[in-house]
C-alpha cells in the first residue's frame, strides 16, 4: 500500500482555494469562540470572524508568535478541553520555557497522513524497513515519522537517537532500507561506521529522510555518497504539526506543502508585509484543519520562497524552497548576513576536511570577528604544518570570495568537534554573552 491522496495532491488552484477558504472560515470561528487569547488579539486588530470570508482575507488576521505560546504555557492556546487531547509534544529551543503543542485523535490522523504522503512521494512503500533515529519523546521527529511510515505499511524500527554503535548494528542486522534522522546525526553515523569498519555495502539503505535542521546541497551529496542512498529533505515544526508540513519529491524541485491543511505565506520579516510569489522572506503558516492547536499566521522565522508551478511529479501543491536558515540563526558579521549553511557549502567543496565545523563569533575592539573551526581528515592531519596552513589559506579565501567577509580558519584534529545526535549546534556567538 502507498499513500497518494490524488484528489488533494493534484487539485486545481480554484478548488483548493475553495477548500482552504471554507476551512479557514471554520478555523477562525473556532479560535475566536474557544481561545480567549485569540479573541483578544482579533479584537485588538478590530476584526471578527465575519470579516474572514476567504483566503484573500488572511492578511487581515494578526500574526501568532512563539512567545504567544510561551505566554500561554502550557495549555492556554488549546482550542479544546484537555480531555480531548490524546498527545502532547514540546520543543525546547535555546531559551525560555518549552513550547507545548497538543493533538486530538483527528490531528494525529492528519499528521500521519501528511507524513505518509511525503514518504510515498519518494517511493517508500510497505516493502521498506524504516529505521527511525529521530528522537522519540517530546520532540516530534520520532513519533511523527513513526506513524507516517506505519500508515503506509512499512516495517518501522523505532530506535530513537543515540547509542550510535547500536544504531549501526541494527541498520545492518534488520536490513533497513530507509534511514530517518537529522543530517548531522546521519553524518555522525557514517563516521562511526567508518571507524567500525562497516561499509555502505554492508547495509541495504536506499533512502534517507533528513530534516529538523538546515543543511546544504553539498551536505546532501556527501550523505548520498557516504551511504549510497538518495537523500530527501523533510520539513516541519511542532507548532504547526511536526515533520511532514512539506517534503521534496523525487524531482527535488522544492518541498511540497500540504496546503489543504496549512496555508503558507511569505512575508517581509521586518514589516510583516505579504510578499509576492517568488520573493524570499519569512514563512508563515495557518493551520486550517487542526482541532487542538489551530495556529493562525504563525511566524516560523524560517526563510524560504514559494512556487506554485505544477511539479514534474504531477503534484499541484505549492512548493517551498529548501530552508537554509532561520532568521534566528543568521549571524551578522560587520553588517553582512551569514548563515551557517553557506559556510557549510564552502567547506564541503574541500575533500581534505570533514563536514564537522563550529563557528565562533566575537567582538574585539568593536570589530566582529568570525573564526571557523573545521576538522581535518586523517590524510591531511598527518601532513606537514606547511600543507595544513596552505589549506587554511585556501578555505579562508573561498569563504571570503563567497560571503564577502574575512574570517579566521582553524583546522583542528579529527574527532574534536562535538557530534550531535539531534539538531546540531553550529554557532557560538560570544557577543550575546556580553
Ligand atoms: O524539527 C520537526 C521535524 C522533525 C522536522 C523531524 C523534520 C524532521 P521543531 O523541533 O519544532 O520541529 O523545530 C522546527 O526546525 O522552524 C526549522 O527552523 C527547523 N527545520 C525543520 N525541518 C527543517 C528542514 C522539528 N528540513 C524548526 N530544513 C523549524 C531546515 C528545518 N530547517
The strand pair at 129-132 and 306-307 is best described as: unpaired
The yes or no reply on domain 1-328 and CATH 3.40.50.12780 is: yes
Contact criterion met (CB below 8 Å) for 205 and 177: yes
Counting from 1 in the atom list of ligand 1, the atom nearest the Cα of 300 is: 16
**Residue 203 in 3-state DSSP?**
coil
Which grid coordinates belong to 105?
Answer: 485523535
Cα distance between residue 135 and residue 216, in whole Å: 22
Instruction: Please report which confidence band the pLDDT of residue 432 belongs to, taking 50, 70 and 90 as the band edges.
Output: low
Report which of residues 160 and 430 the model is more confident about.
160
Cα distance between residue 281 and residue 270, in whole Å: 10
- Residue 373 pairs in a beta bridge with 358, 410
Whether the per-residue pLDDT at 2 is higher than 80: the answer is no
Whether the per-residue pLDDT at 328 is higher than 80: the answer is no
* Residue whose CA lies nearest to ligand 1 atom number 13: 237
- Residue 37 pairs in a beta bridge with none
Bond into 74 cis (ω within 30): yes
Q: What are phi and psi of 32, to 5 degrees?
A: -65, -40
Ligand 1 in reach of 211 Cβ (< 6 A): yes
The angle formed by the CA atoms of residues 218, 219 and 224, to the nearest 5 degrees, is: 100
Report which of residues 94 and 79 the model is more confident about.
79
- Per-residue CA distances from 131 to 7, 309, 357 (Å): 30, 33, 27
Ligand 1 in reach of 300 Cβ (< 6 A): yes
* Residue whose CA lies nearest to ligand 1 atom number 4: 141
Cα distance between residue 289 and residue 260, in whole Å: 8
Q: Where are the domains of the chain?
A: 1-328, 331-429
Counting from 1 in the atom list of ligand 1, the atom nearest the Cα of 134 is: 6
Predicted confidence (pLDDT) per residue in 83-96, tens digit: 999 999 998 665 56
Ligand 1 in reach of 321 Cβ (< 6 A): no
- Please give the pLDDT value at position 411: 94
C-alpha closest to that of 3 among 101, 82, 103, 116: 116
In angstroms, what is the span from residue 212 Cα to ligand 1's centroid?
Answer: 3
- Per-residue CA distances from 236 to 2, 72, 114, 355, 385 (Å): 21, 22, 11, 24, 44
- The phi-psi region of residue 335 (left if phi > 0; otherwise alpha if psi is between -120 and 50; otherwise beta) is left
- Please give the pLDDT value at position 323: 94
Tell me what percent of the chain is helix, strand and coil, each rounded to the nearest 5: 35, 25, 40
Instruction: Please report which confidence band the pLDDT of residue 333 belongs to, taking 50, 70 and 90 as the band edges.
Output: confident
Ligand 1 in reach of 161 Cβ (< 6 A): no
Q: What are phi and psi of 223, to 5 degrees?
A: -70, -35
* Residue whose CA lies nearest to ligand 1 atom number 21: 212
Which grid coordinates belong to 242?
Answer: 511536526
Diameter of the chain by CA atoms? Answer: 73
Q: Which of 211, 220, 243, 324 to mutate to test the pocket of ligand 1 (most atoms within 8 A of CB)?
A: 211
Please tell me the pTM assigned to this model. 0.92
Q: Which CATH superfamily is domain 331-429 in?
A: ANL, C-terminal domain (3.30.300.30)
DSSP secondary-structure letter at 265?
Answer: E
DSSP secondary-structure letter at 228?
Answer: T
The strand pair at 242-248 and 207-211 is best described as: unpaired
Residue percentage of the chain with pLDDT more than 70? 98
Q: Which of 212, 233, 234, 257 to mutate to test the pocket of ligand 1 (most atoms within 8 A of CB)?
A: 212
In angstroms, what is the span from residue 238 Cα to ligand 1's centroid?
Answer: 8
Amino acid at each position: 500500500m502507498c499513500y497518494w491522496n490524488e484528489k488533494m495532491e493534484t487539485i486545481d488552484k480554484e478548488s483548493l482555494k475553495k477548500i482552504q477558504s471554507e476551512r479557514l472560515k471554520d478555523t477562525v470561528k473556532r479560535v475566536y469562540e474557544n481561545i480567549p487569547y485569540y479573541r483578544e488579539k482579533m479584537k485588538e486588530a478590530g476584526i471578527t470572524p465575519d470579516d474572514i470570508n476567504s483566503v484573500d482575507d488572511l492578511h487581515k488576521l494578526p500574526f501568532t508568535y512563539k512567545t504567544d505560546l510561551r505566554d500561554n504555557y502550557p495549555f492556554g492556546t488549546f482550542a479544546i478541553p484537555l480531555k480531548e487531547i490524546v498527545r502532547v509534544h514540546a520543543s525546547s529551543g535555546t531559551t525560555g520555557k518549552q513550547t507545548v503543542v497538543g493533538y486530538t485523535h483527528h490531528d494525529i490522523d492528519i499528521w500521519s497522513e501528511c507524513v505518509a504522503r511525503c514518504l510515498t512521494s519518494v517511493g517508500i512503500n510497505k516493502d521498506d524497513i524504516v529505521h527511525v533515529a529521530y528522537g522519540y519523546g517530546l520532540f516530534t521527529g520520532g513519533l511523527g515519522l513513526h506513524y507516517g511510515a506505519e500508515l503506509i505499511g512499512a516495517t518501522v524500527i523505532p530506535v530513537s537517537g543515540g547509542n550510535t554503535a547500536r544504531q549501526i548494528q541494527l541498520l545492518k542486522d534488520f536490513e533497513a532500507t530507509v534511514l530517518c534522522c537529522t543530517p548531522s546525526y546521519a553524518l555522525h553515523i557514517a563516521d562511526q561506521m567508518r571507524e567500525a569498519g562497516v561499509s555502505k555495502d554492508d547495509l541495504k539503505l536506499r533512502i534517507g529522510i533528513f530534516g529538523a535542521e538546515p543543511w546544504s546541497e553539498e551536505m546532501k551529496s556527501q550523505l548520498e555518497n557516504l551511504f549510497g542512498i538518495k537523500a530527501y529533505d523533510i520539513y516541519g515544526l511542532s507548532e504547526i504539526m511536526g515533520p511532514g508540513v512539506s517534503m521534496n519529491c523525487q524531482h527535488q524541485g522544492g518541498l511540497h506543502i500540504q496546503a489543504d491543511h496549512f496555508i503558507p505565506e511569505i512575508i517581509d520579516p521586518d514589516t510583516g508585509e505579504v510578499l509576492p510569489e517568488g520573493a524570499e522572506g519569512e514563512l508563515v503558516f495557518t493551520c486550517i484543519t487542526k482541532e487542538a492547536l489551530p495556529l493562525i499566521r504563525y511566524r516560523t522565522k524560517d526563510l524560504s520562497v514559494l512556487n506554485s508551478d505544477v511539479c514534474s511529479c504531477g503534484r499541484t501543491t505549492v512548493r517551498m524552497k529548501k530552508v537554509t536558515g532561520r532568521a534566528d540563526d543568521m549571524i551578522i558579521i560587520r553588517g553582512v548576513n551569514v548563515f551557517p549553511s553557506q559556510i557549510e557549502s564552502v567547506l564541503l567543496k574541500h575533500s581534505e576536511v570533514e563536514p564537522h565545523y563550529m563557528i565562533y563569533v566575537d567582538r574585539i575592539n568593536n570589530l566582529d570577528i568570525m573564526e571557523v573551526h573545521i576538522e581535518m581528515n586523517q590524510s591531511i592531519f598527518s601532513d606537514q604544518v606547511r600543507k595544513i596552513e596552505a589549506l587554511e589559506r585556501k578555505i579562508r579565501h573561498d569563504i571570503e570570495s563567497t560571503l564577502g567577509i574575512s574570517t579566521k580558519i582553524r583546522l583542528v584534529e579529527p574527532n574534536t568537534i562535538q557530534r550531535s545526535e539531534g539538531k546540531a549546534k553550529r554557532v557560538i556567538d560570544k557577543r550575546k554573552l556580553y
